Chain A
Amino acid sequence: MARAKMIFISGGVRSGKSACAESMVRKFDAQRKIYLASGRADDTEMRERIERHRSDRRTDGWHTIEQAKQFEQVLPLLENGDAVLWDCVTTWLANELYEGWDNGQTCAEQKGCMELKWRNMQKTLLQILSKIEFMVIVSNEILDDFMRDEQYMKWLGKIHMWLVQEADQAFEMENGIAFKRK
């Protein structure tokens, strides 16, 4: 079976990337629209924000799957014919890279930890793509700023480069305008 079409969209905060991604999925007109959310509700504001997004989408017929990390768990929940919007790469990376922070040792501090997670993630993404019909992956532009956490930025650059390579189309969003880069 042919691999699903994959689109990568990246942009700054409030650049309109999520709206653009949602409209792409809507236009694809798949059997199910799946919203794969990586954000975690750690405080009230975040819980309200997530709930607001959820109820907005519910009226529009979206299924929401919340998956902060370990994406292999998503695979059995997906069906052939699904269109998936994953929002977003940066939160997933933070969740995985800083896992173990509350126990005093993060994944970032353990040799080979993130390498293993990324290999699994690549495998899972390819499996997802061979199962579903259409996928839009949303991420943030944060690499054209001062270095805050070199390891995080290095990983994000590596991940974005792979996603752009794998993507059928790649867009950079700026102020509501999508620039097609691939």
Chain B
Amino acid sequence: MQIVFGGAFNGKRQFVKQQVKLDEWSWYEGICPESISEPAVIAGFENWVKLQLQNEISEEEILQQVKKVSQQAGSSEQIWILTDMNRGIVPIDPVERELRDVIGRIYQYLFAEAQQITRIWYGIPQIIKGADHCENLYKNR
């Protein structure tokens, strides 16, 4: 499983579209389906999490669903596009505060699972996990 991570409007989707043959991959936008059979891109993930929270689905249930989906990455490839939303100030809106906490914890789970993580900064990719010899940032814990 791979993750492409970065702030909004930084060119994450554009980067993924350059990496994969789009006609061979399924593109899931704002949804996180239970079973994924083909190579898949999961994008707009934060919108899906927000929707779950609005429907009063618990963080635990959301995490279980995420685990179920990401564990299928063993048999077919997955790229998760995750938006970094957690570097700003604490939001006034309680829904946003909850969303921020929940995606923060889910991202930690997904980051631990991923074989490779690429951070995109205004179109420039930087591998922050899984680059073999080129980096050792992720070993610094």
Q: Is the interface of A mostly helix, strand, loop or mixed?
A: mixed
> Given A145-B89, A164-B122, list of 17 further CB < 8 A pairs?
A141-B87, A144-B6, A144-B8, A144-B84, A144-B85, A144-B87, A145-B85, A146-B85, A146-B88, A153-B8, A156-B9, A157-B122, A160-B10, A161-B11, A163-B122, A164-B123, A181-B121
Q: A141-B7, A153-B9, A181-B126 are in contact. Are A146 and B121 (CB under 8 A)?
A: no
Q: Are A161 and B96 in contact, CB atoms less than 8 angstroms apart?
A: no
Instruction: Note all chain B residues with C-beta closer than 8 A to A181.
Output: 121-122, 124, 126
B86 within 8 A of A: yes
Interface residues of B (CB under 8 A from A): 6-11, 83-89, 91, 96, 100, 121-124, 126
| A129-158 vs B, Cβ < 8 Å mask (1 yes, 0 no) | 000000000000111111100000110111
**Please, how many angstroms separate the alpha-carbon atoms of A104 and B91 in the complex?**
28
Quick one: which of A9-29 are within 8 Å of B by CB? 10, 12
Cβ of A85 < 8 Å from any Cβ of B? no
Give Cα A10 to B122, complex, Å. Answer: 10
Per the bound structure, the CA–CA distance linking A111 and B2 in Å amounts to: 38
Q: Mark A102-124, 1 if CB is under 8 A from B, else 0.
A: 00000000000000000000000
Q: Are A164 and B8 in contact (CB under 8 A)?
A: no
- Interface residue tally on A, bucketed by range: 20 to 34
- Could you tell me which A residues sit within 8 Å of B by CB distance? 10, 12, 141-147, 153-154, 156-158, 160-161, 163-165, 170, 172, 181-182
15 A–B pairs (Cβ distance < 8 Å), ordered by A: A141-B87, A142-B88, A143-B7, A143-B9, A143-B10, A144-B7, A144-B84, A144-B85, A145-B88, A153-B8, A157-B122, A160-B10, A161-B123, A170-B122, A182-B124
